[in-house]
Amino acid sequence: MDDVKSKVLGILKDLTGEDFSNNLDENLYDSALLDSMGTVQLLLELQDQLGVSAPVSEFDRNEWNTPAKIIAKVEDAQ
């Protein structure tokens, strides 16, 4: 579980330059840290590093808008 969390946080840090380890409820879209390109990169990295397949066509921003939600989604998908 912590492995998933650290990997997701690492991916987000690479994409946004921000460390969310103390701010898992930051809304990545409202704060403009992720946009559509960033979302695609995030999904590709999650697939590459964690084997989680999340098609962009099924992507609901409201379910993926915070680090905590992303971590939960990845854990559910594994």
pLDDT one-digit tens code per residue, 11-64: 999 999 999 999 999 999 999 999 999 999 999 999 999 999 888 788 899 999
Distance CA 75, CA 54 (A): 12
Query: Quick one: 78 exposed, middle or buried, by C-beta within 10 A (0-12, 13-18, 19+)?
Result: exposed
Hey, how many other C-beta atoms are within 10 angstroms of the C-beta on 43? 17
What's the length of the chain?
78
The whole-model pTM stands at 0.91
Structural domains in the chain plus CATH codes: 2-77 (1.10.1200.10)
Q: Smallest Cα–Cα separation from 2: which of 21, 27, 30, 17?
A: 21
pLDDT for residue 1: 56
